[in-house]
Structures are given as C-alpha cells and as structure tokens.
Amino acid sequence: MHRIGFDAKRLFNNFTGLGNYSRTLVRNLVYYYPDFAYFLYTPKIQKNPDTTVFLNSPAYSVHTPGRIERPIWRTYRVRQQLKQHKINLFHGLSNEIPFGLDHLPVKKVVSVHDLIYKHFPRHYPAIDRQIYDLKTKYACQHSDQIVAISASTKADLIHYYGVPEHKISVIYQTCAEDFFQDKSEALIEKVSKKYNLPSQYMLYVGSITERKNLIGILQAMKRLPRDMELPLVIVGGGRSYLKEVQQFLVKEGLKKFVHFIQPENEDLPFIYQKANLFIYPSFYEGFGIPIIEALFSHTPVITSNCSSMPEAAGPDSMLIDPHEPEAIAQAIDRVLSDTELRETMTQKGYAYAQRFRPEPVTTELVELYQFLL
C-alpha cells in the first residue's frame, strides 16, 4: 500500500480557494482510490463543518506538532515524521514543499496555483514577495514533478523560473459536488427569498480586490441600454478595494442596482442556478473555480480572454478584454438579449465542464503518483 503525505495547512485553516482545492483533492482521492494510505500534516487545526470529516474519518491520519516547534515544523521538522511514517510520496498542495526532503526516499510533488506576485508585485509587501518567490522556486527545483492547475500557470513557471516543460503536468481543479446537482425551482426560490435577491440578476462570485476588476463590471453597467439594466449580485468580501467599489456606486448612481451578499456555502449553487449570467472579468487567475461553478450550474459565462480563464470557460463562453468596459457592456447586452445564444452557451458550456468532474481529474493525479512511484 502506497503511503501519501500532504501539506494540509490550507486544508485545515483556509476556507477560500487554496483550502477548497486541498479539501476537494484529498476527499476525492479517498473516494476514488481508497487503497492508498493518506497522511495529513498541519501545524494547527481549525475545527468546523469543512474540516471535521478529515478528523473523524479512519481514512485519514492527521498529524500536528507540539506548540514549541510549530513555527518551523511545516518547513523543516515535518521531514522527521515523514521518515517515521515511511511516506512514499509527499504532495505540497500550495506552491511549497518542506526543505530537506532530498535526503529521504520520498517522491515529491507540488501544486502551483498561480504566480500573482510576479504579475502584480505592487499588491504585495516586499517581504511577502520574497518569501513566495523563495518557496516557489525551491519547490520547483526540488520536486520530482509539478502540478500546474492550468496551462497558463505552466507557461508562467517556464517563463519566470525556467522549469523544464516535461517536469510540469497540467491537472485541472474540480469544484464542490453540490454544483453538479440541478436544484428544484421551489428550493431556488426559497434561497432567493432568504437573501432578498432580485427576480433576475447578473452574478459575480469572488474576492473584491483590484485584480478581480469589479469596477470594470460597474463601468460596463453604466453603458448598458435602459432595457438591459439588470441588477448585479456580488458574493465576496474585500477591504480597501471594496471601499473604492462602494464610492463608485454612490458617485455613479448605481447603488440600487447592486446587491452584496455573504451566503452560506450550501446556498451558493442555488444562487448560481438562478442567475441570468455569470460575469468574471478578472485580469489574472491561476484557474478560476467560479467559472466552472457557473458552467455546472447551466449559467452562461462572460469572462476575460487572458490568463487561464479561456481554459476554464471553454470556447462557447463569451470572452472579453477586461480592460475595455465597452466590450464588457456589449457582451452583457448580447447575452441578455439573445435567447438562442444564451441557450447555446448554457448547453455547450455544461458539456465542456464535464472534463472538470472529480473522477477524471483525480484519475490524472493518481496516474502521476503511480508513474513517480
């Protein structure tokens, strides 16, 4: 039996992108490949409904350090436990692996999600950029294989770190299984009333940061014809950029058209399925999970023509230049006014999304493990 270890810090302590990736990946491995032994290494644990399954299931062996060695354990000391547990393969799930594994008989895999700090350095303090750069570069040099979550990320790794192409495997992400189920109209309406949603709306899901380009959507809304003035529902949180967004809404008289909500995770699929369209004009993404959540929800997608987003959205979504509010407005107008186009986008987008289902992406990952082992 192969013994697979994981850096589970994000799994137990992050409840957005990296944490979702880690939990979904490990859960799917156990579901489809239960004959492996799975070890989760984390410096600390937050207990909540997202993490209890990993703590209560005999399928996972969870390990944490003592309080004194916690600060350096994940980077340096965890290797002692890998040796003790006779781990055959260690997978760093978020751009890094521990130092010093070269002296152990352990195959090393790292998932690299994005190199945002290279594309948008001003969004990060200098010390953070240096740490991210050091850890990612080390992981690329010392891993036996790198999992890039998109071809776009693969291209970045080749460009910025000179990683040989053969050392990178593109293995896509999936999303939570709730998005694969068609919801009943009655339940959709119940969730809609819970959050006081408009009867029709456009949807944005994601953090409210400058890179995500929410103001680009609002600038496009200003340009829409009167009969296309559909409300925008925003799911996500932010800080300084959120203040900019709110100031823009007041200045441009758009406040009545925009609804900010913070739904529970289990309600999100209902909100996607009720939306008339999903809009995501980000400037850069490692992959763009909300895009495939929309495709699985039978919701037409408008997103950017750059970075990884065309890979996630497929050829039948509407791709726009995120720097051009006029292009975003034209895409919204076209999708909302053309029923036949909307139906084609919905059907073909859903068919395209099948490649991101759990079984094929998990199988690709296990084939990589088996090749290395």
pLDDT score, position 76? 76
Question: H/E element holding 38?
Answer: strand 37-41
Using left for φ > 0, alpha for ψ between -120 and 50, and beta otherwise, residue 311 falls in alpha
CATH class (in words) of the domain with range 3-174+357-372: alpha beta
What is the residue type of 38? Y
pLDDT score, position 73? 78
pLDDT at residue 15 greater than cutoff 90: no
Average pLDDT over residues 215-222: 97
For 42-82, the pLDDT digits (tens) are: 999 999 999 999 999 999 999 998 877 777 777 778 989 99
pLDDT score, position 1? 87
For 260-272, the pLDDT digits (tens) are: 999 998 999 999 9
How is domain 177-356 classified at the CATH fold level? Rossmann fold (3.40.50)
pLDDT score, position 17? 84
Q: What are phi and psi of 276, to 5 degrees?
A: -75, -35
Helices (H) and strands (E) in the chain, counts: 17, 13
Tell me, yes or no, if the pTM score tops 0.75.
yes
For 190-211, the pLDDT digits (tens) are: 999 999 999 999 999 999 999 9
Average pLDDT over residues 89-96: 97
Burial status of residue 48 (CB atoms within 10 A of its CB: 0-12, 13-18, 19 or more): exposed
Spans of all domains in the chain: 3-174+357-372, 177-356
Instruction: Report yes or no: 298 and 272 within 8 Å, Cβ to Cβ.
Output: no
Coarse DSSP helix, strand, coil percentages of the chain, rounded to the nearest 5 percent: 55, 15, 30
pLDDT score, position 218? 97
Q: What are phi and psi of 29, to 5 degrees?
A: -60, -45
From residue 137, alpha-carbon distances to 152, 163, 238, 361 in Å are 17, 9, 29, 25
For 147-189, the pLDDT digits (tens) are: 999 999 999 999 999 999 999 999 999 998 899 999 999 999 9
pLDDT score, position 72? 79
Domains 3-174+357-372 and 177-356 agree in fold:
yes
